[in-house]
Every structure is written in C-alpha cells, then in structure tokens.
Amino acid sequence: PRRNGTSGETIISNIDCMGLTMDENGSLYVTDDVKDEVRRYRRGESQGTVVAGGNGSGNRLDQLSDPSYVFVDRDHSVYVSDWRNDRVMKWMEGAKQGIVVAGGQGQGNGLTQLSGPQGVVVDQLGTVYVADLGNDRIMRWPKGATQGSVIVGGNGSREQSNQLNGPIGLSFDRHGNLYVVDWGNHRVQKLNIHLNV
C-alpha cells in the first residue's frame, strides 16, 4: 500500500451522517439520519449542539425524518433536506422549529412537491435550489414561494444534457454556475443559471 505520511483524525464519532457543511467560522454542521437531527460542532467540540430536529422522527415543524444534505447561510440559518418528509426545512439560528421552504406537500412530481430531496444550496436572495432525486430534476424555490420551478431535468432519467438520473449533490460558484452530481448517469453537470451569489 502507498502511504504519504498523512493520517486521519476522528473528530466526530458514533454518528450516522450523510451530509455536512462548514460555516465561515469553521463550525461543522452534520446531519444524523438515525437521530433525525443536525448538529453544529464548533472547533474542539465533541458533542455538538442540535440546531435542527432532535425531537424524534416525524413531520412536525420541530422534527426531521432522515435528514440528508445541509446548507448554512451567512446568518447561520440551517437548510436541511428532510428526505422522508419530501421537503426542505429552514431553521433560523436558535429556532426551536423550522419552516418549510420547499416541498412539504407530500411526495410527488408537482411544482409544490418533492420526492426524496437530496442536495440543497441557497443564494444570497434566499432562493433555494434542491436536487429532487426521485423526480430526476433540480428545482428552484424563490424565498417565500409556495411552489418551485424546474430548472433542469424532470423529463426522463436519460443521458441528454437536459436530463438527469438521480441527482444528489449541488454546489455553485461565484460566477453563477451550478454543479450537479448526476449520480445515476455517473457524471457532474455544470449549468449556468445566473445565481445571485
């Protein structure tokens, strides 16, 4: 085996995590899909603080059910894709419950619905972008909107440039390019959608 002299350090143990992100202060935000919560770990902390969910699995506004991906904005609001509830929740810093910012109208393919949401990113205007895994599409939900719009996909799980097959991860750059992990097609797609970053 090749070795380069670098060894890893376990900083969080005993967790069933799917997604994590870091804020500008270096705090880690980690989803736990068994405990149905998101915890913030400041540097040096081993226990962390629950910042979303943590009240058992369910669909109340203070609960999550299999949270997967997480995003934190500049105000330290936590956005989490609540997989089994087919919604994206926003938890403002210090909040005891979240608000639904995308989906939450049951599983489906309507513009008010999601099906197994995964990756989530938010621009400076509060527009939510979500990888809608079960519908093979990326949706955009403007701040305060009751329905979203499809920006790519949702038209069959094929390999054309306007199609996706199981999108799971999202990231955007400062130039307005959205990067999509198109899991089922074994590729990363780059989309220029003029984000407000």
3-state helix, strand, coil in the chain (%, to 5): 5, 40, 55
Percent of the chain having pLDDT more than 90? 78
**Residue 97, exposed/middle/buried by CB under 10 A (0-12, 13-18, 19+)?**
middle
pLDDT of residue 71 exceeding 90, the answer is yes
In this structure, what token pair is assigned to residue 169? 């991860």
Dmax (CA) of the chain: 53
* Global pTM value: 0.92
CB-CB contact of 96 with 83 (8 Å): no
**Helices and strands counted in the chain (H then E):** 0, 15
In this structure, what token pair is assigned to residue 190? 């780059």
Phi, psi (degrees; rounded to nearest 5) at 83: -55, -55
Could you read off the pLDDT of 124-173 as tens digits, one per residue?
Answer: 899 999 999 999 999 999 999 999 999 999 998 888 888 999 999 999 89
pLDDT of residue 196 exceeding 70, the answer is no
- How far apart CA 89 and CA 67 sit, in angstroms, is 10
- Counting Cα atoms < 13 Å in the Cβ hemisphere of 42 gives 4
Q: DSSP letter for 121, please.
A: E
Separation of first and last alpha carbons in the chain: 43
Domains and CATH numbers, the chain: 17-192 (2.120.10.30)
Where does the chain have alpha helices with state H? none
pLDDT of residue 197 exceeding 70, the answer is no
- Counting Cα atoms < 13 Å in the Cβ hemisphere of 93 gives 6
Q: How many other C-beta atoms can be found within 10 angstroms of the C-beta atom of residue 46?
A: 10
Could you read off the pLDDT of 85-133 as tens digits, one per residue?
Answer: 999 999 999 999 999 999 999 999 999 999 999 999 999 899 999 999 9
3 confidence band (pLDDT: 50, 70, 90): low
| Mean local confidence (pLDDT), 64-83 | 97
- How far apart CA 167 and CA 152 sit, in angstroms, is 10
Q: Tell me if residue 69 falls in helix, strand or coil.
A: strand
